[in-house]
Amino acid sequence: MPKGVWVWPSDPKGQRRTLRTVAASPHLMAAMKAIGKSKEGLSNAELSDAIENTSEWTTLWVVRQLTSLGFLDFKVDFFGNAARYELSEAGRVALAMMTGQPLPQKPPVEATVQPVAPKPK
């Protein structure tokens, strides 16, 4: 495995260096782009497919790198569905800076309860 990035530096020069390191990694960039395009985030299996690598070690390395930098959020589904990785706000900003594209929009939260109209009298 390549050595890791692991820590988001506090100085701007170090941040640019870190972004260049992430941008130079085909696995990290493929993962960030795929997660950024996904409405619901990606599960481990979907992330493995997105980075086009069947090695679970590589997927684990990608997840650890992006999570340690604060670019990913991990969303757990308590009802038995697969947990999902989503880009954090820092991840969306970083992806926009590295690709030169506008910020990927966070999908709107859907209401689970529909309002009920009052009954006519």
Convert the pLDDT of each residue in 101-121 to its tens digit: 876 666 555 545 555 566 676
User: What are the structural domain ranges in the chain?
Assistant: 12-99
Digit-coded pLDDT (tens) for 81-94:
888 999 999 999 99
Is 1.10.10.10 the CATH number for 12-99?
A: yes
Q: Which pTM was predicted?
A: 0.76
**In this predicted model, what pLDDT tens digit does every residue of 40-65 receive, in sequence order?**
899 988 999 988 877 888 889 999 99
Residue 1 confidence class, pLDDT cut points 50, 70, 90: very low
Provide the token pair at 2: 């390549």
DSSP assignment of 59-94, as one string?
HHHHHHHHHHTT-EEEE--TTSSPPEEEE-HHHHHH
